Amino acid sequence: MLNFSYTSLVKSVDRPDRNLVAKIIRRSLQQSYSVVSLSIVIVDNETSQNYNLEYRNKNKPTNVISLECAEQRSQFNMLTGELILADEVIRQEALEQNKSVVSHYVHMLVHGVLHLQGFDHQNDLDAEKMEQIEIDIMASLGYSNPYTI
């Protein structure tokens, strides 16, 4: 069962629509969960920076923050958590990387959902594994390799 909220606290016309977000979540799931319940919110840089400082001890805005409930996943096979996306950061990165804003949003959603499932990129081996999964998911959604600039 997939349940998610999808809210934008900023005016963002280039973000994926709700149907695409549902498809992104489903394609990003690396196993079958009894329940998937996510909250996805698009925020401004100031809000992103505040959350990044609070949860990651980094005093700057970032493209996506994934707040997972790992104990729910491990104990009950439920994927629950929050994704906080910074619209301004995503737009700026898309411009710098010569990508469409929507495709970069799609990538950040894929990336965030993988983080919620415990994937990380703290070392080279984990980064390579996570990036390949992202590349495969993006291709399945009709998008090019997000790491090719």
Domain boundaries, the chain: 2-140
Number of H helices, E strands in the chain: 6, 4
Architecture of domain 2-140: 3-Layer(aba) Sandwich (3.40)
Q: What share of the chain is helix, strand, coil (3-state, %, to 5)?
A: 50, 20, 30
Residue 106 pLDDT level (bands cut at 50, 70, 90): very high
> How much is the pTM?
0.95
Tell me what pLDDT residue 51 has. 96
Interval 30-56 mean pLDDT? 96
With pLDDT > 70 as the criterion, what percentage of the chain qualifies? Answer: 99
Give the sign of the dihedral formed by CA 130, CA 132, CA 134, CA 140. Answer: negative
Residue 149 pLDDT exceeds 80: no
Q: Would you place residue 148 in the very low, low, confident or very high pLDDT band (cuts 50, 70, 90)?
A: confident
- Phi, psi torsion values for 127, nearest 5 degrees: -65, -45
